Amino acid sequence: MNFSVILPFIGAVLVVFVVLKLLSAPLKLIIKLVLNGVIGGLIIFLINWIGAGFGFTLPLEWWSAILVGLLGVPGVIILVILHFFI
């Protein structure tokens, strides 16, 4: 085997490695946002399920979904506090 086959192969492997390394950071961010949104949605569901007996529910609207998706559990806490004051 000569270098005209080995060098392009090594170069291609390095390019793939660099591209995957650059794409891994945004993928981690997307996974984190989705996980925060799911956990926040479950917490809002539990709050609505338990709070329905006490007359306390949180509506799940687009802005609350964005808030919970970005902030996670602290976003749910902010929604509860805002619900009491608004």
Give the pLDDT score at 29: 80
Give the pLDDT score at 24: 76
Burial code (b: 16+ CB inside 10 Å, e: under 16) for 23-37 equals eeeeeeeeeeeeebb
pTM for the model: 0.63
CB atoms within 10 A of CB 18: 10
Q: Is the pLDDT of residue 19 over 70?
A: yes
Dump pLDDT digits (tens) for 28-62: 787 888 888 788 888 888 888 999 989 888 887 77
The ranges assigned to domains in the chain are 25-85
Calculate the average pLDDT of the chain: 81
